[in-house]
Chains A and B, each alone.
Chain A
């Protein structure tokens, strides 16, 4: 028996070999947190004093 012949696509034939549907969706019933920031209100004492612009006067 000869090997199966390689069958060339017939002219005018359309072929689809795979289908994938991608849907971007938020899952239902979910609580979502995307960012956390901790703000601290603090008096600028020691460390701040070190970075304050220093103005010096020579008299």
Chain B
């Protein structure tokens, strides 16, 4: 089941803390396939998870420049997986472009390869994107790591110690680390082993996926919240609200009221859809609860779980593995994605 996803396409780095833990002092750059944005990993980017994870999966596009041997990678971590701030294990890259897992999280030396595992045989090509996905099971005796690079499994180990920081078989957060590799990250996905519906992943490999990000183009139906200016759709697609959240907003204090929007079509993608995420940047001045919704062309509605809003503007994300399908949910297709409306409902 997908638990977090970011295509790095809409938030400016100065507002990443609405979706991640921090506003990194870095930048976004042109994304994979020259579409959208990617995160240039020149500053750490941290994410505390909504729930602890023991078995989890991640995938993303990874880009690096320079030349091999790249001595700036000598002490280069890519990811820390932490429990309460202490690293359990790390994902690193050696000076020749091989990814590997390490049980070390110190500094000042090349992190050693985790006992019982080996470095990936795959050399990440320079000035190009590699699709990386992996599985980690946190356990001090029955831990496991598996890693795919461009759809080929190049690390696979079981019964290894992946719990080198604390005595808990879990992580509570992960951190992209600004190493010396000049890494860029795009299409970031994280999921766990919980079964779901549609193409929502619960194992490896997920396969290469990009993340297309679109916003509202016009009011759908219903439109029941009050816009502070313009139309409800123009409010929630106003880029000024990204740099200065709340410059304009739609508001409601009446439970049951919904806004629903027609959104821009997928920007040229025509593949198989894994999952669709609705993101809102929202706040409450009371103790309001929201839920995100998808409405299909036949007006059938699927609702996500309740979201307890915060008193400051934060990004909330709901995953929809399937389309409402006229009352019988069906897998997403580009056509029903483009014909659906997306929005939110005030629960209380």
Contact = CB atoms under 8 A, between A and B. Distances in A.
B95 interface: no
Contacts of A39: 5-7, 9, 211-213, 276-277, 279, 317
B346 A47 contact: no
Interface stretch (B84-92, B107-115, B167-175, B245-253): B245-253
Contact of B278 (A32, A38, A48): A38
Contacts, number: 184
Interface residues of A, number: 26
Question: How large, as a class, is the contact surface on chain B?
Answer: 35 or more
Interface of B: 2, 5-7, 9-10, 33-35, 187, 189, 207-216, 225, 235-238, 241-242, 245-253, 259, 261, 263, 266, 268-286, 288, 290, 309, 313, 317, 332, 334, 337, 342-344, 346
A9 interface: no
Contacts of B268: 47, 50-51
Contacts of A36: 215-216, 236-237, 261, 263, 278-281, 342-344
A31 B210 contact: no
B211 A41 contact: yes
Closest 3 CB pairs of A and B: A43-B271, A45-B271, A31-B288
A58 to B, nearest CB: 21
Most buried by B among A27, A30, A39, A48: A39
Most buried by B among A34, A41, A47: A41
A31 B253 contact: yes
Interface string A41-59: 1111111101110000000
Given A36-B342, A37-B279, A42-B266, A30 B236 contact: no
Nearest to B343: A36
Contacts of B276: 38-41
Contacts of A2: none
A33 to B, nearest CB: 4
Interface string A2-23: 0000000000000000000000
